[in-house]
Amino acid sequence: MNRGYYWLVLALSIPAFIWLVPTIWMVSLSFQPNDVLARTTSTTALGLIPIPFTAENYGALFSFGQTPWWFLNSVIVSLGMTLGVLAVSTTAGYALARLDFPFKATIATICLIGLMVPEQAVFIPLYTMFADFGWHNSYHALILPRMAVPIGVFLMMQFFKAIPKDIEEAARLDGVGWLKIFWYVMLPLARPAMMTLAILTFLYAWNDYLWPLVSAQQREYFTITLGLASIQSNFAQSEGLGRVMASGVIASLPVVLLFLIFQRYVVQAMTVGGSKG
Amino acid sequence: MKTILIGAAVAATVVTGATAQEVTLGRFFGACEDAGMDTKASVGEACIIQSIINAADAEIEGVSINTLPTDWGNYYDQIKAAYAGGTPPDVHVMHRHRVPEFAGLGALAEISGDLESVGIDPSDWTASARDAVTYEGGIYGVPMDLHANLWHVNMDIMAEAGLVDDGAPVLPSSPEELLEHAQMVKDATGHNYLAADFAQFPIGVRLVLALMWQQDANIFSEDGTATIDNGAARNAVTAITQLFDAGLADPQLNYADSQQSFLNGEAAVLVNGTWVVDFYSAEAAKEEVGLDNYYVADFPTLFEQGATWADTHMWAIPSPLKSDEDKYMAALKVLAFINDHNVDWARTGHMAVRTSVLESDEYNNLPHRDEYTGTARIARDTPPSERYGAIQDVLNRELQAIWLTGKPVGDALADAEIEVQDLLDR
Amino acid sequence: MANTDPDAGAARAGRKSYLSQSQAAFLLLLPFLAVYALFLVYPFFRGFWISLHDWNLLAVAFNPDAKEFVGLRNYERVMWGRNIEWAAFASPLLQGVGLLGMVAAAVLRYRGRISRATAVALATGSALLFLLPGFHPGEDGRWYDRRFWPTVGNTVLFVGLTVPGVTLTALILAAAMNRETRAMSVLRTLFFLSQVLSVTVVTLIWQIMFSPRQGLIANITEAFGGTPINWLTDEQFAMTAIVIATIWWSLGIAMILFLAGLQDISKDLYEAAALDNATGARAFWHITLPNLKRTITLVVILQIILHFQVFGQSHLMTQGGPNDTTQVLVRYIYQTGFRDSELGRASAMAVFLFVIMGGFSVLQFLVGREKE
């Protein structure tokens, strides 16, 4: 490594720090007393260091806040959606990639055309449909629509296509049925791809806003993303800034941790998910 | 004997247990998670209403209340979505101005026949409150308040500018005087005269509407003709823009910022509703808050006749609930409880709707209450319309265009008139 | 290997599998096809059907017959007006750019500088840019919905500012950080971190960041003796503010895609270039950029699709204001549907959104295939 390299790292640290400042600022505000914040947010180091310090905002959040409940909802919805997407995507992806059947090309095309339909273009008919079924304000209403999005099928299909043919053929020669091959041979091989898809789906589910906004009107089914939106649109008087920021920190913690632990998969998920087509 | 008593007690528990009704309640006003049950101690709209609800939950036998999300931003969108999805809350708050839209569709339960059975006396309501909940002869809700725009005054700034007479602020009686006073404040203190949310919620719209009504004009007529592009509207708008042009008010403050500016002691007058009177009183009492000497005044008359924007918060029950007799009665009991605590709600600063409360000492001794007694008399709103929300939105956009983006007044008013007419014709 | 057909192999082994290949395939496809048909295909056509009706959200909920078939009138009411005329230079700047684009596409294709797909895409885009802004209300004319096209314009402006912002920043950062060292990996993590936050956290942070009274930016401005800007309520800054927040939020994915693209460029190319004294910026210009062309195109299209659907930033940070300058298409759809209860109109706009998104998806597909 030469001198230029260290200069480069140093030069990049400055924008990287600036990039981090908004997040630091949120965390810092969440540890300051509300009545101080009401007057000024720049007590120490422009507010970037939480002095005067208090953990009260988090205490309040967990003793009578709705935040823990919303948090739990988000976990349920995100996990449910992730499992659902994994289930329908691996099966369909395998069938489309490895099996021969009538109208295969047609069915594959029909599935992939769905990639063109953005969620925002169908949320109104979906809304009226779920209303007709009486399904709003339920976990399945929050989970089901996203399972229909074919990106997962597409990703799994690409993955299965890349597996060499002979693995399957050996099993076939031993007379193993297709479903067993799928379950015992293909799924274990697909673990990395499934991990990628799972993280992509989980992040999407955790952060989704528009569909929960129209589908969930009862607090029982608010996700944390939706709950956060509801507390920031209040008239300024009811909640302290520190409390709102503490909710924001709590809402972000799981995804940030998930990202830091599974960074490799997240990056891969973004790469594959981003360059579809 | 003893066993019978125990048996009766057990039976009673079983009975009430079996009939315990969960009532879901939709409201805005914001969240107050630690409101408690003391309806006399809480401060601010969110906490006062929640303390009343918590008390109702505890005190009404056989009824438990589940409060739904409480944000302002998407309230009506969400409540409509809930109605359309077949899952409206069992009772919900709404504004008077939404009655034509909701009652017109048959969404609200007509409750006039059932009020007495739970102890609500509609004849105790003021005439304006009864009007508020009445639609085509039927009663569709229980009114909770009359709320209106007030002038919240920082007396220290006014005194410095020489605008105090006999303990009361001297307020302008014409647009020219408004400018004059504003200049006096600027010269004496360097502060802005007027602050209000001109940039976000339609408080600026309500200000302009009041000034139009003061000239006996309105934005549309009962028969559905938009009348915005005219001299009265121009007078009303320029009465305000003259302050911006002279640098005596800042049009870019939103709700939170304008409020903060007033509380910091940086503006002589804040135009805002009745809902903040107790909050500002509490803030003014604090050592560290810039505002010390707080006064509430009726919206002054700058033209021929007094007028200020007003509306009513009311509680309604969805019509489908009538098919579930027990739940319907439980919902009515909740409304009755809120009606009984009218004086507690009035602690926010809102005006009560029950004559018996209005005449009570408890009500009249509330802080600053004697300073805005004229407001009920000059309270007004636009004619009823199913498109109230959309019309307010048009006005808000066009007025913001005038003061935030420099759109010529004539163009903005002409555009607003066309668009409001479109909405009325739809 | 005379016989590679696995079914025959299974049969020869003398054991019968329970399902034939087709049966297994349909069984495995069934769950996905069921949710797909029910929650995507059906709603899509239903949306189109709703757009042909005068359909009030609440009225229809209480009385299913309260809708009225109106044909294409919703489309007319949203997108058209009275006495609409077309002129070649109604909006000289945009139309001029469109005209230049068409000429450029023809010339570049003729000289073989760009592929056919790129030429077609460029020409189509330019033609639309020439065609659409030419419509305007004539004498006594007016748009039926004065907000729709400005809203589309705002959305395009948002995309037009965000996409180059994200792409350029991400490209420069990716090129600078394209080394497998510990420090670089930490830096990459820092830049990527904000990408995983939800839109409501992002708006929460930036709403306060931009606040003229409580915001960090205002604190800094005041520390230097300046007057804070009312970012979110000033017409000149509101769009910039939500663009800044968006760039901060969504830089990560573009950066990751560029890094992946950079990995594919052979080291030999750089070594060869170094012999010609091309290092640093010159190497970036002559080697990195040309070899990254396909990735850049993909990232740009992906961003366009993503950001055209912007909703949360506008809905939560500025409520579309001031004076509608940050009103965007999806928010208008949401408002028309749920505030104004006009599902028919809202659906017509959603169909419009789909057509635009579909166009870009086809483009993405074509570009993606080009290399193969």
A110 and A180 share one domain = yes
Chain B, nearest residue to C317 by Cα: B200
Residue ranges of domains in chain C, CATH in brackets: 150-354 (1.10.3720.10)
Which pLDDT score, from 0 to 100, does residue B1 have? Answer: 45
| Residue B306 CA, distance from chain mean position | 19
Residue B399 CA to residue B233 CA, distance in Å, equals 11
Verify whether the Cβ–Cβ distance C58 to B401 is below 8 Å. no
B304 and B321 share one domain = no
Residue C352 CA to residue C344 CA, distance in Å, equals 13
B107 and B194 share one domain = no
Higher-pLDDT residue of B157, B11? B157
A151 and A94 share one domain = yes
Q: Give residue A50's domain range.
A: 3-54
Tens of pLDDT, residue by residue over A196-245, are 888 888 888 888 899 999 888 777 788 988 888 877 765 444 457 888 89
> What backbone torsions phi and psi does residue A69 show, to the nearest 5 degrees?
-65, -45
In a domain, A70, yes or no: yes
Q: For residue A125, give the nearest of C15, C43, C256 by CB distance.
A: C43
Is A214 in CB contact (< 8 Å) with chain B? yes
A32 and A71 share one domain = no
B402 and B387 share one domain = yes
pLDDT of residue B169 exceeding 90, the answer is yes
Verify whether the Cβ–Cβ distance A239 to B31 is below 8 Å. yes
In a domain, A60, yes or no: no
Higher-pLDDT residue of B238, C12? B238
Residue A214 CA to residue A223 CA, distance in Å, equals 12
Residue A13 CA to residue A20 CA, distance in Å, equals 10
| Residue B288 CA, distance from chain mean position | 28
Residue in the structure block whose two tokens are 């504003």: B182
Residue in the structure block whose two tokens are 């002279």: B246
Q: What does A72-123 look like in DSSP terms, one character per residue?
A: HHHHHHHHHHHHHHHHHHHHHHHHHHH---TTHHHHHHHHHHGGGS-HHHHH
B165 and B302 share one domain = yes
Q: Percentage of chain B with pLDDT > 90? A: 74
Mean pLDDT rounded to a whole number for chain A: 86
B297 and B401 share one domain = yes
Residues of A within 8 A of B92 (CB-CB) are none
A86 and A173 share one domain = yes
B35 and B94 share one domain = yes
Which pLDDT score, from 0 to 100, does residue B35 have? Answer: 84
Q: For residue B255, give the nearest of A229, A230, A236 by CB distance.
A: A236
B268 and B224 share one domain = yes
pLDDT of residue B54 exceeding 60, the answer is yes
Residues of B within 8 A of A238 (CB-CB) are 29-32, 44-47
Verify whether the Cβ–Cβ distance B74 to A219 is below 8 Å. no
Residue A222 CA to residue B256 CA, distance in Å, equals 26
A156 and A91 share one domain = yes
Tens digit of each residue's pLDDT, chain C (372 residues): 344 454 544 444 445 557 888 999 999 999 999 999 999 999 999 999 999 999 998 888 888 888 999 999 999 999 998 888 888 888 888 889 999 999 999 999 888 888 887 788 888 888 988 998 889 888 888 888 989 999 999 999 999 999 999 999 999 999 888 888 889 989 999 998 898 899 999 999 998 899 887 889 988 888 888 888 888 888 889 999 999 999 999 998 889 889 888 888 888 888 888 888 777 778 888 888 888 888 888 888 888 988 999 999 999 998 887 888 999 999 999 999 988 889 999 999 999 999 988 888 888 777 777 654
Give the domain-ending residue among A35, A54, A73. Answer: A54
Residues 6+ apart with CB under 8 A from C310: C155, C158, C159, C246, C328, C330
Residue B350 CA to residue A36 CA, distance in Å, equals 28
Domain CATH number, residue A225 = 1.10.3720.10
Verify whether the Cβ–Cβ distance A66 to B31 is below 8 Å. yes
Residues of B within 8 A of C61 (CB-CB) are 83-86
Residues of C within 8 A of B200 (CB-CB) are 233, 319, 321
Closest-CA distance, A76 to chain C, in angstroms, reads 17
Mutate to test the interface with C, among B205, B322, B391, B393 (most CBs of C within 10 A): B393
A214 and A113 share one domain = yes
In a domain, B219, yes or no: yes
B123 and B181 share one domain = no
Residue type, C91: S
Verify whether the Cβ–Cβ distance C44 to A117 is below 8 Å. yes
B171 and B227 share one domain = yes
Residue B399 CA to residue B237 CA, distance in Å, equals 8
A168 and A261 share one domain = yes
**Contact present, A246 and A59 (Cβ < 8 Å):** no
Q: What does B270-300 look like in DSSP terms, one character per residue?
A: EEEEGGGHHHHHHHHTSTTSS--SEEEEPPP
Q: Is C305 exposed, middle or buried (0-12, 13-18, 19+ CB in 10 A)?
A: buried
Residue in the structure block whose two tokens are 């509801």: A230
Q: Give A45-51 contacts, CB < 8 A, sequence gap 24+.
A: A46/C216, A46/C219, A46/C220, A46/C223, A47/C216, A47/C219, A48/A21, A48/A24, A48/C216
B408 and B265 share one domain = yes
In a domain, B370, yes or no: no
Cα–Cα distance list, A241 to A69, B42, B411 (Å): 20, 20, 40
3-class SS of residue B309: strand
3-class SS of residue A174: coil
In a domain, A106, yes or no: yes
User: pTM of the full predicted structure?
Assistant: 0.88
Closest-CA distance, A137 to chain C, in angstroms, reads 16
A113 and A138 share one domain = yes
Is B145 in CB contact (< 8 Å) with chain C? no
In a domain, B97, yes or no: yes
Residue in the structure block whose two tokens are 């997962």: A152
Chain A, window 69-108: residues with a beta carbon less than 8 angstroms from a chain B beta carbon:
none
Chain B, window 36-95: residues with a beta carbon less than 8 angstroms from a chain C beta carbon:
73, 76-78, 80-81, 83-86
The total of structural domains in chain A comes to: 2
Which pLDDT score, from 0 to 100, does residue A238 have? Answer: 46
Residues 6+ apart with CB under 8 A from B106: B319, C62
Residue type, C65: D
Residues 6+ apart with CB under 8 A from C368: A275, A276, A277, C298
Verify whether the Cβ–Cβ distance C205 to A25 is below 8 Å. yes
Cα–Cα distance list, B75 to A192, A230, B26, B78, C103 (Å): 43, 10, 9, 5, 51
In a domain, B353, yes or no: no
Chain C, nearest residue to B416 by Cα: C146
Verify whether the Cβ–Cβ distance B397 to C319 is below 8 Å. no
Cα atoms found within 13 Å of the Cα of residue A95, Cβ hemisphere only: 29
Band (B13; pLDDT cuts 50, 70, 90): very low
Average pLDDT over residues B331-358: 95
Give the domain-ending residue among A16, A34, A54. Answer: A54
pLDDT of residue B338 exceeding 90, the answer is yes
Question: For the sheet containing B91-95, what is the strand order?
Answer: B63-67, B21-26, B91-95, B313-316, B142-143
Verify whether the Cβ–Cβ distance B69 to A218 is below 8 Å. yes
**Contact present, B226 and B281 (Cβ < 8 Å):** no
Verify whether the Cβ–Cβ distance B74 to A134 is below 8 Å. no
Choose among C289, C281, C309, C263: nearest CA to C163.
Answer: C309
In a domain, B269, yes or no: yes
The total of structural domains in chain B comes to: 2
In a domain, A83, yes or no: yes
Range from A220-224, B42-46, B258-262, B368-372 that averages highest in pLDDT: B368-372
Q: For residue C233, give the nearest of B106, B200, B422 by CB distance.
A: B200
Residue A69 CA to residue B391 CA, distance in Å, equals 37
Chain B, nearest residue to C66 by Cα: B105
Q: For residue C6, give the nearest of A1, A26, A169 by CB distance.
A: A169
Residue C108 CA to residue A178 CA, distance in Å, equals 52
The torsion defined by the Cα of B268, B271, B277 and B280, in degrees rounded to 10, comes to -40
Residues of A within 8 A of C330 (CB-CB) are 120, 210
Residue A207 CA to residue A201 CA, distance in Å, equals 10
Closest-CA distance, A246 to chain B, in angstroms, reads 15
| Count helices and strands in chain A by DSSP H and E runs | 16, 0
Verify whether the Cβ–Cβ distance B404 to C340 is below 8 Å. no
Verify whether the Cβ–Cβ distance C25 to A101 is below 8 Å. yes
In a domain, A59, yes or no: no
Residue B61, Ramachandran bin (φ over 0: left; ψ between -120 and 50: alpha; else beta) = beta
Is A40 in CB contact (< 8 Å) with chain B? no
Which pLDDT score, from 0 to 100, does residue B229 have? Answer: 94
Q: Both tokens of residue B300?
A: 């002054």
**How crowded is residue B304: how many other Cβ atoms within 10 Å of its Cβ?**
10
A46 and A70 share one domain = no
Domain CATH number, residue B110 = 3.40.190.10
Tens of pLDDT, residue by residue over A95-108, are 999 999 999 999 99
A179 and A220 share one domain = yes
Mutate to test the interface with B, among A128, A234, A243 (most CBs of B within 10 A): A234
Residues of C within 8 A of A274 (CB-CB) are 253, 256-257, 298-299, 302
List the chains bordering chain A where 3 or more Cβ pairs fall under 8 Å: B, C
Tens of pLDDT, residue by residue over A45-75, are 788 888 889 988 888 887 766 788 888 999 9
- Cα angle C298, C172, C257; round to 5: 35
B255 and B390 share one domain = yes
Handedness of CA A218, A222, A226, A232 (dihedral sign): positive
Chain A, window 194-213: residues with a beta carbon less than 8 angstroms from a chain B beta carbon:
213
Cα–Cα distance list, A104 to A15, A160, C6, C28, C33 (Å): 50, 16, 18, 13, 13
Q: Percentage of chain A with pLDDT > 90? A: 31
Q: For residue C198, give the nearest of A182, A206, A241 by CB distance.
A: A206
In a domain, B377, yes or no: no
Q: Give residue B43's domain range.
A: 23-146+312-340
Average pLDDT over residues B314-335: 94
Mutate to test the interface with C, among A10, A18, A19 (most CBs of C within 10 A): A19
Handedness of CA A247, A248, A249, A254 (dihedral sign): positive
A154 and A30 share one domain = no
Is A230 in CB contact (< 8 Å) with chain B? yes
Closest-CA distance, C129 to chain B, in angstroms, reads 27
3-class SS of residue B68: coil
3-class SS of residue C259: helix
Write the ipTM: 0.90
Chain C, nearest residue to B78 by Cα: C338
Average pLDDT over residues B108-120: 94
> What backbone torsions phi and psi does residue B311 show, to the nearest 5 degrees?
-155, 175
Residue type, C90: A
β-strand B134-135 against B91-95: which pairing, if any?
Answer: unpaired
Higher-pLDDT residue of B243, A235? B243
The torsion defined by the Cα of C9, C13, C16 and C21, in degrees rounded to 10, comes to -10
Mutate to test the interface with A, among B87, B264, B280 (most CBs of A within 10 A): B87
Which pLDDT score, from 0 to 100, does residue A118 have? Answer: 85
Residues of C within 8 A of A209 (CB-CB) are 198-200, 311-312
Choose among C76, C39, C71, C38: nearest CA to C53.
Answer: C71
B251 and B333 share one domain = no
Residue in the structure block whose two tokens are 């009652």: B103
**How crowded is residue B245: how many other Cβ atoms within 10 Å of its Cβ?**
12
pLDDT of residue B19 exceeding 70, the answer is no
Choose among B381, B364, B382: nearest CA to B372.
Answer: B364
pLDDT of residue B16 exceeding 60, the answer is no
